[in-house]
Chains A and B, each alone.
Chain A
Amino acid sequence: AQSVAQPEDQVNVAEGNPLTVKCTYSVSGNPYLFWYVQYPNRGLQFLLKYITGDNLVKGSYGFEAEFNKSQTSFHLKKPSALVSDSALYFCAVRTDLDAGNNRKLIWGLGTSLAVNP
């Protein structure tokens, strides 16, 4: 079954410390993985994606993510957290082709990141 999991509902980190938001996935084919951020009452903003190539992907606002095929994970990281990074973070994985030759994104339930001053 195709799925994506964000095992932590909330992550708390002190400003200046490194942060990690976890994501694991399950798809049959090669995984296409995405991270998005959502600020309160706003739409989602794309941060980064993994399609192929280097396992360490760099994205917007200093975020990066590490693809680990053996652990089926795609954790979001940032070396030094800012208070302004406090938001809701979503991981998504592209589905395999369905019977209608269509693909969609499967979304995690989100992780609320709180960066404390």
Chain B
Amino acid sequence: DGGITQSPKYLFRKEGQNVTLSCEQNLNHDAMYWYRQDPGQGLRLIYYSQIVNDFQKGDIAEGYSVSREKKESFPLTVTSAQKNPTAFYLCASSMGTGSYEQYFGPGTRLTVT
């Protein structure tokens, strides 16, 4: 899992509550990513950031928000507007978005009831 930490590993929330997932990296990587993984659907990109104070929407950004105030940190907020938030969330980082491989954190499994 490299130098990327995600916390907590398991998270439980009631419907209607916002929740923030933490992602920290000590690899000095410029780019960071958030993915959602559901059974049979592979990885879907939520948001990504190529540099501090800048980020772009991925394929399924609705109902999510991010910030990138520090190079090391890229927290993801799952808002109450996300219709189906229960999933496994993966954070990743890379030196850049070109030929560089992404390094993944261990993931956070979010359950909303």
Residues of A within 8 A of B (CB): 32, 34, 36, 41-46, 49, 51, 90, 94, 100, 102-105, 107-110
Return A113 CB to nearest CB of chain B, in Å: 15
Interface stretch (choices B12-20, B65-73, B76-84, B98-106)? B98-106
User: Are A43's CB and B106's CB within 8 A?
Assistant: yes
Q: Does B90 contact A (CB under 8 A)?
A: yes
User: Are B90's CB and A94's CB within 8 A?
Assistant: no
Please give, as numbers and ranges, the residues of chain B lying within 8 Å of A32 by CB-CB distance. 98-99
User: Are A104's CB and B58's CB within 8 A?
Assistant: yes
Q: Looking at the complex, which one of B42, B92, B101, B106 makes contact with A42 (CB distance below 8 Å)?
A: B106
Q: Looking at the complex, which one of B88, B101, B105 makes contact with A49 (CB distance below 8 Å)?
A: B101
User: Are B50's CB and A102's CB within 8 A?
Assistant: yes
Return A43 CB to nearest CB of chain B, in Å: 3
Query: Known contacts being A34-B101, A103-B97, A104-B45, is A43 close to B90, with CB within 8 Å?
Result: yes
Q: Which 9 A-B pairs have the closest CB atoms?
A: A43-B104, A109-B42, A107-B43, A44-B104, A46-B101, A103-B97, A107-B42, A51-B99, A43-B106
Nearest A residue (CB) for B90: A43
11 A-B pairs besides A42-B1, A44-B92 with CB distance below 8 A are: A32-B99, A34-B101, A41-B88, A41-B107, A42-B107, A43-B90, A43-B106, A46-B102, A104-B97, A107-B43, A109-B42
Query: Known contacts being A34-B101, A90-B42, is A104 close to B107, with CB within 8 Å?
Result: no
Q: Does B109 contact A (CB under 8 A)?
A: yes
Bound Cα distance A102, B43 (Å): 18
Binary A-proximity of B1-27 (CB < 8 A = 1, otherwise 0): 100101000000000000000000000
27 A-B pairs whose Cβ atoms sit less than 8 Å apart in the complex: A32-B98, A36-B104, A41-B107, A42-B106, A43-B4, A43-B90, A43-B104, A43-B106, A44-B43, A44-B90, A44-B102, A45-B104, A51-B99, A90-B42, A94-B99, A102-B50, A102-B56, A103-B98, A104-B45, A104-B48, A104-B58, A104-B97, A105-B45, A105-B102, A107-B43, A107-B44, A109-B40
Bound Cα distance A43, B5 (Å): 10
Bound Cα distance A34, B100 (Å): 10
